[in-house]
Structures are given as structure tokens and as C-alpha cells.
Structure 1
Amino acid sequence: MSHIIVNRLFKPSVSRKFLRHINVRLFTSDRPYPFLLVDHILKNPSSTDGGLEKEYSNRRKGNKIFITDKKVMRNVCDAMTVGFSRDGLKFNLTDKGPAIHYKGVSAYLPPLPTGSQVQSLAMSSLPTREKDWVVGVKLSGSRLMVCRPFGRSKLIDIKNAPGCINPSSSLMFSKDDKRFYIPSPGCNYFCYLEEEHDKLEFMGLKFDDIPASVSNEVSELSSCSRTDHLVESPTGNLFLVKWYGEDSEVWMDSDSDSDTDLEKDDENEVSTLKHVTKKFMVYRAGEQSCDYNKTMIYTEDIGDLCMFLGHRQAFCVPASTSPGLKPNCIYFVGRNFGVYDLTTKTCTTFHKDDECPVTRIEFPYWQFSL
């Protein structure tokens, strides 16, 4: 099993070279290490055998890695999206509603409101048959609902959520605080929901001054869109991640029926706009002050941690827990796939050969990891 992904992705010479320079197999009998593949591509972005080509932009301090090989493309997407499934935990959307499966426990949430779409989902713990196990579901239109699948199996609509929560940000559950969190639209408040409550409460934020050099960088983001995501470290530290993106004109095949279709036909090319990740900014929650519940401190150093942002709850783990992960980095998927290095402030995005960023927007992007 250890050679399957590499041999499917690269020609034999590249496969042998890759395996010769690593000491850990891509797979053991019980645990995958798919980020070895991502790490290999980041370190070897101009491999002709792998169908890779690198383009660096000094203006935006970013790398584009073009992947022209279809198998490489599909496996990079798979590696990025299934890299952190945990112990067989699975999620799927059924005709009856969302279903969660874990080690013999299958939980079925009640049917969602007609026409609604799941944007993110968070759980109070790994699935258990305990009556107080809670699942939070953020729907399109800033709608928030919670359910206790083995307690009162009913979706509870949080009435004061619309207009209060950021419609594009992800829901998270803090194991340390025992509550759900989501930023407000302006991100000057954290909206939070206690496990036993059915109304949001609000926590005011104070952002410390950022360094002058960073202020200049922020001024360049005025035309960018932004989503805000809360991440809790394994030790209980709370981080706020601001994800910036900008629109870029690209040419694509009008007959393409797949986001990962690499076939190209010049006669059918049309101009369109694609959203491309530009920058991330990270803030660490500090001590409470007299006037504010939380003080947010800008940081470029999260130590050995890696953060993961996608469709469902954002999370982070120590880089040392999985071979191939790079510390002090943010791995992101969804409208773009790539890695942001907080140390160098370099954003690396994966692209198809037609300039379009790699995209996969079905739910969920990340597998569960709690």
C-alpha cells in the first residue's frame, strides 16, 4: 500500500527518488500520511516528470504551482481533503438529512429546512450516544441550528443568529470553553452559544496595534474580500485567522464540466473571474481587559502548529503529528487549494494549466478532526 499514491502520480524515476529521500512510508497498516505528497510537490515544484511548473510573483509574494498531470491533480486534491480523517469518522448528506458515522455510532440529524445548504458543521466531541452530545450546523443565509441526536433529536433554530454572524465564516466548538463560536460580520465581536442555550451571546474584542510594516501590507488588502475563522489549539489557545482573497481574470474552457478537468480547447475559451487567495493574518487571544472580553494580538508565529481552513470547522494540530506537515503554516482548500507560510508570508496556490486555481467546493472539504 505504501507505493500506491506515488506510483500513480509520478513516473518511476521520480517515484524511486521520492521514496529514497524519505524515511516514512506514505501509508502504514492503519494510518495514512498523505501530506508527504503535498510536501514533495512544495519542495519540487518544477518537476517535468510530475507535470509540475512553478511561477513566482514578487509583487504579491506568492507561488503558483501549475499541475498539468490529471492524476497528480486528483491525488493532490484527495491528499489535501482526506489528510486528517480520524478513526473512520465519516459525514454525508442523505435524502433524510446529514448523517455522521463513527466506530459503530451512526447519528442522523433531522431533515434540514427546504432549500438550505450546509456551510459548516461543528461537534462538541467525537460522536457518542450520550444525550448531551451536541452538533451545530451553520446554514446559508447566516442561519444557525443545533441538535442533540441522542437527546432531544430536534433541530433548534437560533433565532438571533441571522444578521449577527458572519455569513462566510465557519462555526467552531471550543473544547476548553464548552461553547460554539463564530465571528460577527465586522469581526469586532465573537458570537457564542452555550451548550444548553438557544440564543447567541456576544463577546467584545479589542485588537492590539499591529507593527508599522504590517500596516503597509494591510493597506494593500483594501480591494480584497475577507472571511474570519476561529481555531483552537490542542492546548486550548484560541486564534482568529483572517483569510483574504482577490478576483483575478482567467481564461477557461467553456465546455469544461469539472473543476479538475485539465482538457483544453482554445476555440472554446472564455474569460471569467476566479477568486484567488492572497494573504492570511493570525491573531492570538490574550487576557481579558476591563472594557473588552478578549484582546486579540497579531502574531506571525504559531510555533509547531499547522492550521487547516476549509468548509467545516477550522482546526490545528502540531506539525510533528504527521510526516509531511510544515510548522507555522496554514493549509487551505475549497475555492483555492494551497499552503500559506506565516514565517515567509508566502502564499503557494495550486493551479491547472489554464491559469484557473484548483477548486473543489462540495461539503465537507476537511474530514473531521477533534
Structure 2
Amino acid sequence: MSLFISRVRNLSAYRVVSARFFSSLPPESPCFLLSDKTVKECRESGERIVRYRIFDPRTEQVVTTSEKKLPKELIGQTLFGSSQGWVASMDSKDLPINLTDVYKPLVTSPRVIPLPSLGFYPRPFTTELSLSSQCPDQDQEDFTVAAKFCGTHLSVCTPCLNSEWIHIETSLPLVPASELMYSKRDKAFYFTSAKGLYMGSLPLSSNKKEKKKIKYQEVRLCNFPKIPGEMLDRCFASKHLVESPSGDLFLVKWYAQCTHIEEDGNGEAQGIHSKTKRFMVFRQDKKRRGYFSYTEDIGDLCIFLSKGEALCLSSSMYPGLKPNSIYYIGHGLGSYDLASGAVHSFESLGATMLNHAPFWIH
């Protein structure tokens, strides 16, 4: 599996829009955080005043935000996951975990929700996160956080009720492999197993004292398209689950190909650079939920894939987004038209830029 090197080429070819135009973004418009710049440090409060450079996929422009405060709890922490516009961070010293909406472009008074300490530092740092609410509140009894910190466990936390994480073990063939997602339709967290043969779900029970148990269902992919074997041999695939605003569930296969291996002075591999080749989308049958049928037509929907929880939005709600498309971060940065199979890259030929949040923020 490719090591995602979180570098995105400088989008210098795109016009940079000043902060005064930033308010023209539709509410909760998806965007991608490129970089931040500290404008001022507040010694008394420990906070920083920062500006963010955001990539807006609707206009394919780089936008600079107005100044906002970066809470002191987040300074120096590592970002490791995102869900519904909220980003999670962790400190390697005393292992506190925080959720914040500071990276949402239109948020002027950012919030920080502290979560219980994990008690260990996950390595490799490949953590996945999913929230049961788009507007979480640590005092909400039904607000639940699900995460995958280590290989064979699914970890769950209910901030209002629990002071610690509950780690639910899975058997090796059923280890969560896809990014976690929360289904508003079913009020459950979902993931697929490593080979995509099973789909796991963790329903949120109204009885908070009931022991949490993962349910499994066999997955059958129907109308699988014919793909040259040579292409599949050269590519590696990841699996992603995403729910549409109307409640349709999609399973997305993301195929990428290695372009070159980055080595250190001793010839040891430091990272694998890759590019996106194609996607395959399967829609869940409404009557037989274990069946997913291949489709190249998702209507006016757009799917957003990254290192965070997948998003699915209606393009008609966000003028400028391309319908029937997948927007992606990782294995390049661009969009993919499902009908034609055409890849549209957002990368320019400028200098590379270190990016510490490879997530779509919504």
C-alpha cells in the first residue's frame, strides 16, 4: 500500500483570491487546507493568530482566509483524521486527543472538544476517524466517536458518558480496512474488511449500557466491469464507503499506480509516489443490502476522498462542482469523471508545498 507523502504541488498556476472574497463560499463548501501562516502570537493566552490558504474545488482557486485564532490546545499537535469538517489531533507527550472545527473556512469562533487520552501512541500513525454528528457537543448523550488506532481494534468513545476509549477486537480477516464512515440512515458506523468480502457495522444503541458489538455482512459486487488484467496487476486498490445525502450507500474502489520510489542516501525506501488511474463505484441494493452494483452514473452527486472520512454532496448545492465526479487527495490531487474516466489534475508545476492536513474539510 502506498505511503501517502503529504506534499501537494504549489497551486501557483491558479489565481489566488484575497480574503475579502472568501465569504462568497457557500456554507459548508468543501475545501482543502494547503498551508497556514502565523500572523501573531499571543503570549498571555498562548494562542496564535493564523491565516490559512485553502483550495476551493468549485473554482479551482487558492483562497486566503481572514485571520482567526488557533487555540493553544492544538499548537504542536499532530493531525490524524477528519470527519464532517472536524479534525482530530494528538500530542505525543501526554497523548490527549482533541477535536476542532478551526479549519472550517467560515468558522470565526473555533471550538475544541477534548477526548479521553488514548493511553498509547499508535504506530504506524494511520488512524481513521468518524463522528456521529456534524455539530458535536461533548454533553450530547448520543454523540459518539469511532476510530481505528491499531490493526485489529475498532475504538469507540462517548464523551458524555465515558472517560475512556472502548476497544472492540475483530478477528484478523475482518480487520477494518476501508476508511470508517457514519451512516445517518442506519445510525451506525461502517467499514469493509481487508479484501472487501465483508462489511462491518457498529450500530448505536439507544441503550448506552448495552455492550457494543460489531455485526458483519457478506459483500457481493455485481455487474463488475471488464478491466484489462495488466492494469490490475500494475495497480493497488483501496476501498471506501460513503453515504449520499438521500441515504444511498456506495462502495468506491480507488486504483492507483506507483510512479517512483523515493530513497535515502543508503538506498532505503522512504516513500512511494503514486498517481490515480481509475475509480469504480458500486451502489448498494436497497432490498438486498449485501449486494452492490457497478455504476458509472451517480447523477448530480460528487464524492470526496482523502485521508479523512469520505464525503458525498449534491453538486447542485455547490455551483462549480462537477456532477458525477470523484474529487480526491492522495495519489495526486484532482477530479475523476465517472462517465468518461477522464482525470483532471489540480496540480501545477510549481515548487512542492508541505501539507499537514490531507483532508477535505466540509
Choose the corresponding residue for 2:121, options 115, 118, 136.
Answer: 115
Checking the alignment, whether the CA contact within 8 Å between 2:250 and 2:281 is kept in structure 1 is: yes
Unaligned runs of 5+ in 2: 1-10, 33-54, 65-81, 102-108, 206-210
Query: Amino acid of the residue matched to residue 100 of structure 1?
Result: L
Choose the corresponding residue for 1:134, options 144, 153, 161.
Answer: 144
2:360 is paired with a residue whose SS is coil
Q: Does 1:233 align with 2:244?
A: yes
Q: Which digits, 9 at most, give the CA deviation of each residue in 1:64-83, with x for residues without a partner?
A: xxxxxxxx7x98xxxxxxxx
Aligned match of 1:341 = 337
TM-score, normalised by the number of residues in structure 1: 0.66
Aligned match of 1:323 = 319
Q: Which digits, 9 at most, give the CA deviation of each residue in 1:127-183, with x for residues without a partner?
A: 02212211001124243200001112320001126541344x200011101111000
The sequence identity of aligned pairs, in percent, is: 30
Higher normalized contact order (CA 8 Å, seq sep 6+, divided by chain length): 2
Checking the alignment, whether the CA contact within 8 Å between 2:191 and 2:200 is kept in structure 1 is: yes
Task: Output the CA distance in 2 between the equivalents of 1:312 and 1:38.
Answer: 17
Cα deviation, residue 365, structure 1: 1.5
Choose the corresponding residue for 2:223, options 181, 190, 209.
Answer: 209
Structure 1 residues 247 and 318, CA, compared in 2 at 3 Å: closer, same or farther?
A: same
**Residue-pair matches, total:** 290
Task: Output the CA distance in 2 between the equivalents of 1:365 and 1:154.
Answer: 26
Whose helix fraction is larger, Structure 1's or Structure 2's?
1
Structure 1 residues 37 and 182, CA, compared in 2 at 3 Å: closer, same or farther?
A: closer
Task: Output the CA distance in 2 between the equivalents of 1:237 and 1:357.
Answer: 38
Task: Output the CA distance in 2 between the equivalents of 1:104 and 1:90.
Answer: 12
Structure 1 residues 38 and 218, CA, compared in 2 at 3 Å: closer, same or farther?
A: farther
Whose strand fraction is larger, Structure 1's or Structure 2's?
2
Query: Amino acid of the residue matched to residue 120 of structure 2?
Result: T
1:220 is paired with a residue whose SS is helix
Task: Output the CA distance in 1 between the equivalents of 2:12 and 2:349.
Answer: 17
Query: Amino acid of the residue matched to residue 341 of structure 1?
Result: D
Aligned match of 1:97 = 96
Task: Output the CA distance in 2 between the equivalents of 1:274 and 1:164.
Answer: 28
Give the root-mean-square deviation of aligned CA atoms: 3.9
Choose the corresponding residue for 2:359, options 359, 362, 365.
Answer: 365
Query: Amino acid of the residue matched to residue 285 of structure 2?
Result: G
Checking the alignment, whether the CA contact within 8 Å between 2:199 and 2:216 is kept in structure 1 is: yes
Q: Which digits, 9 at most, give the CA deviation of each residue in 1:201-241, with x for residues without a partner?
A: 2011222133xxx3035662233111100000011000000
Q: Does 1:187 align with 2:181?
A: no
Task: Output the CA distance in 2 between the equivalents of 1:184 and 1:281.
Answer: 17
Unaligned runs of 5+ in 1: 1-7, 20-24, 43-71, 76-83, 256-269
Checking the alignment, whether the CA contact within 8 Å between 2:239 and 2:253 is kept in structure 1 is: yes
Structure 1 residues 9 and 130, CA, compared in 2 at 3 Å: closer, same or farther?
A: same
